[in-house]
Amino acid sequence: MTSIQLKPEAKRYIQNHGSYNPFTENEQGIQIERTPFLQRHIQLADIKSIENTYFIAKDGTKIPIRIYTPHTDEAILPIILYFHGGGWAIGDLDYMDGGCQYLSKHSQAIIVNVDYRLAPEHPYPIPQQDAYDALNWIYQNPLQLPIDLKRLAVAGDSAGGNLAASIAVRAIEEQGPPIQALLLTYPALDATATVANEDLQFAKQYGLDDDELDLYYRYYVQGNERLTHPYVSPALYEKKALLPPTIIVSAAYDVLNHEGEKFIEELQQAGVQAERVILDGLIHSFFSKMDYFEQETEEATIHLSNFFHFIIQDGLNFKTEYR
């Protein structure tokens, strides 16, 4: 059993928030309470502009996005598409605002933060389709953003990490826009997985409970026959050698730890450049919580950015046979 040594900020977060289950069921069906997670707003001097706008999804729905542009001397910038966490059921553009600012600062990339539609009102495949539509929208670049599509990454935390990985799989299967890197923070990757024995001690009160995770999948997917589909469970995708270079930043005490470790090991065995970074003393859900984990959020974005820079600047030979 792991000796748990939480950072003071993690202890304070657990004391103040503990577990969070937004769902209730009654005769009217599934109900969800989305209480805004109020947190300190930041405005980094390193960010040149933050713009709220939208794109039109495949079904005609307006999907809000927030675009972050860093101060830089470079005329044409890398681009990172970001999907927030929240179990596919909660979260919005403000939820990951601080994290996206730090990611833009350290990656020196334009970040597009996507407010995809949420379950249970909009179950799978709608959030995944919104994510894929965002990828196609970026590639078409109707706003004529100063971006280099040969330096395109997709990123996300938790459920957002799932969406990022799933659209990387979909881009392979549908010969979609080429993605150069996956930048993931404690992603949920396998809806069929059970909690590893070594992670059971983190299954309650560490930012994400095991039964809470089951509920999120249940209300997102709404059909067990879909759980093994690689668009739901990208860890089950069989052609891992075709996936882009991937980094996972994990919290030391997280029910999803073994899942992330296994995914990285399988990518490495398939010949994909992949690495995992574990941040000590932290729990699931730390990312972008500015009242508790600003320093840790910045540390995570530095790891993500350094990996991205290595991939796009050092010219790693990324397999593109499917394109």
- Between CA 203 and CA 182 the distance in angstroms is 26
Q: Which two tokens stand for residue 201?
A: 């001690």
Beta bridge partners of 251: 279
- Between CA 24 and CA 304 the distance in angstroms is 36
What's the distance, Cα to Cα, between the start and end of the chain in Å?
A: 45
Task: Please pick, among 107, 158, 166, 288, the residue that the annotation labels catalytic.
Answer: 158
Cα angle 240-233-304, degrees, rounded to a multiple of 5: 65
| 77-83 β-sheet, strand order | 47-56, 62-70, 110-114, 77-83, 147-157, 181-185, 246-253, 274-283
Question: How would DSSP label each residue in 14-49?
Answer: HHHH-----EEEETTEEEE------------TTEEE
Beta bridge partners of 77: 147
Q: Catalytic: 158? A: yes
Side-chain-facing half-sphere of 196: CA atoms under 13 Å: 15
- One-letter amino acid at 291 equals D
Helices 159-173 and 126-140 cross at an angle (nearest 10°) of 60
Q: Which two tokens stand for residue 318?
A: 């990324």
Which residues form the catalytic set? 158
